[in-house]
Amino acid sequence: MNEYRNLKSLKVLGLAVVAMALSACGGDGEGPPKPPPPAPPEYADKHMPDGYWNNPEILKEGEAIYTGQHNIDVNCASCHGKNGKPVKAGARDFRRTEQMELYSDAVWFWRVNEGVTGTKMKAWKSKLSEDEIWKVIAFEATFGLNGKEWDVAANKWVAAGAAGSAPAASDAPAGDAAH
């Protein structure tokens, strides 16, 4: 009877170890993608300047900003990694396409500009101009959204060159801000 209990305890322990091992697998620990809150009204109509998505010159400038070559006080790679794979706990993994696709260009701009409450992501608006922020966002997008651009009219990511033109702010239906 004692052998039976020991065997049963060993099986339960083994199952627990297997369950813990399986739960630890599956990527970067961020869990399933969760949509972000929508951009606040003052950011909802901010969009990537025309010609920035997938533009080699803009991407080169964005990379210099991202890696701290442009401004020693700004180094996104110190948390998010040189290739978009985080090197610090809690940093967004820019390689996760399914997560990146949940963020409009307006939301990305808002988060970089103002920081992210409840995280270590600080506001960069005092260190970077709006143009520099757009350049770094264009570069960050190459990790998980390479070859895509945000289509303002369709409110989604599309293949580069397939985006329609942005509606004028007065043409946008109420409550249809980019998310």
Domains and CATH numbers, the chain: 42-170 (1.10.760.10)
Q: Which residue has the tokens 């004692």?
A: 2
Distance CA 179, CA 164 (A): 17
166 near 153, Cβ under 8 Å?
A: yes
Q: Residue 157 pLDDT more than 50?
A: yes
Cβ-in-10-Å burial (0-12, 13-18, 19+) of 85 comes to: middle
Backbone dihedral angles phi then psi of residue 102, each to the nearest 5 degrees: -80, -10
pLDDT at 165: 58
Q: State both tokens at 131.
A: 């143009």
Confirm whether pTM is higher than 0.85. no
Q: What is the pLDDT of residue 32?
A: 79
Residue 117 parent element (H or E): none
Per residue in 44-96, pLDDT (tens digit) is: 999 999 999 999 999 999 999 999 999 999 999 999 999 999 999 999 999 99
Tokens (6 digits) for 134: 């757009």
pLDDT at position 174 is: 39
Beta carbons of 86 and 92 less than 8 angstroms apart: yes
- Average pLDDT over the chain, rounded to whole? 82
